[in-house]
Amino acid sequence: MPLFILCKWGINDRSVFEGREGPVEIGFTYFDCTRNSFKDIALRAIISDIHANLEALEAVLTDIRRSGIAEIYCLGDVIGYGPNPCECIELVYPFDKCLLGNHDQAALFDPDGFNASAERAVFWTRGQLEAAAGSERQQKRWDYLGELPRLVREPNFMYVHGSARNPLNEYVFPEDIYNERKMERIFSLVEKYCFQGHTHIPGVFTEDLNFLAPEEIDFTYELGAKKVLINVGSVGQPRNGDPRSSYVVLDQNTIHFKRVEYDFNKTAQKIYAIQDLDNFLGDRLKEGR
Ligand code: ZN
């Protein structure tokens, strides 16, 4: 009896499995056709820092659907910096989990600790969210943002935007491996594995204070006995010198770091056309900085 994928993403692609009985390769993973429930397959996409970049989000969601992934978690900063905050929020609604990021919070309340250009972007974003005030769609977006959690815990797993110590605002940069005190404190708050975003730089922090960039580990990391912090990178504003969107897939105990191309010129053009969004916010997309 061939398995077919049926999930809220509309991946109902029987043709992939029809007439096949052995394992079927989809994307980078194998599904066993003899299993009869898609729920048995623990594939989860973890994305972060969309930053109102619609072209990047759509490209990543297409990649996720093509890989037959059922679950999506987002670690926050759905909005801020980019030209399409409303559209991006609405695309996030069906996700299984979404956290509050510092930019989401800034749009809801008041920007704190932002530079002048980021602050102008916050106020422009808020204006977009407040447009058509009173309409059902506007209210729903506002309520959705206001109810996002700062932290999600599951057995062995923890999900934050910034860090386990300060889920909303603390950066954990690769160079922090030299800051033993900071890292020890953060690791002490993590049961096993912590997924985070915020810096827009993907990679794995180990408890013995190493930072493993995805390209150094062949874009794969096997979760084991040791505690790790995993930064999933950014969908909408990558900053590690590669303009492609970054996200990770959790497949049982294996983490796959993924990169996805998108039309960053289109996003940049939209940014250039909006006075309150600094041109630099468009320029940086082309270089991934
Ligand atoms: Zn961010």
* pLDDT tens column, 237-284: 999 999 999 999 999 999 999 999 999 999 999 999 999 999 999 999
Supply the pLDDT for residue 132: 84
Supply the pLDDT for residue 105: 96
Assign domain 42-287 one CATH number from 1.10.15.40, 3.40.50.300, 3.60.21.10, 3.50.50.60.
3.60.21.10
- Å from CA of 81 to ligand 1 middle: 9
* β-pairing verdict for 157-160 and 193-196: parallel
Strand-by-strand arrangement of the 43-47 sheet:
97-98, 71-74, 43-47, 245-251, 254-260, 220-222
- Å from CA of 50 to ligand 1 middle: 7
- Å from CA of 234 to ligand 1 middle: 7
What does the block give as tokens for 37? Answer: 């429930």
Q: Where are the domains of the chain?
A: 1-39, 42-287
Report the predicted TM-score, pTM, of the whole model to 2 decimal places: 0.87
- Secondary element (H or E) of residue 257: strand 254-260
In this structure, of 35-44, 77-86, 184-193, 239-248, the range with the lowest mean pLDDT score is 35-44
Rounded to 5°, angle at Cα 35 from 30 and 41 = 55
Closest CA to 158 of 99, 219, 95: 99
- Residue 185's pLDDT band (cuts 50, 70, 90): very high
What is the C-alpha to C-alpha distance for residues 108 and 22, in angstroms, rounded to an integer?
50
- Å from CA of 220 to ligand 1 middle: 23
In this structure, of 18-22, 118-122, 150-154, 226-230, the range with the lowest mean pLDDT score is 18-22
